[in-house]
Amino acid sequence: MAIYKVIITRDITESAVIEVEARNEEEADEAAHDKLNESMDTKWEVDEGSWNNSQQYTTGIYIDT
């Protein structure tokens, strides 16, 4: 399995990078959302471009190299 970094965005201008181990991007996306929902101390960073989307959503998935 590979290590994926999944960028999940919420609200207007915040994102978090969640690192998960998965077999493919689809599994990584699901695992990252699960991990985020279980976390009490996720570090969100201010960014631009999420424009009024109140639900968290995936903005990128990368294999960690």
Tens-binned pLDDT, residue by residue, of the chain (65 aa)? 899 998 887 656 677 888 999 999 999 999 999 999 998 888 877 666 555 556 677 777 888 87
Q: Which of 18, 14, 19, 5 is nearest to 54 (CA)?
A: 14
Instruction: Give residue 40's pLDDT.
Output: 84
Cβ-Cβ contacts under 8 Å for 49 (sequence gap 6 or more): none
Domain ranges of the chain: 2-63
Cα 31 to its chain centre, rounded Å, is: 9
Name the DSSP class of 52: T
- Look at residue 56 in the predicted model and tell me its pLDDT: 73
Query: How confident is the model at residue 53, as a pLDDT?
Result: 55
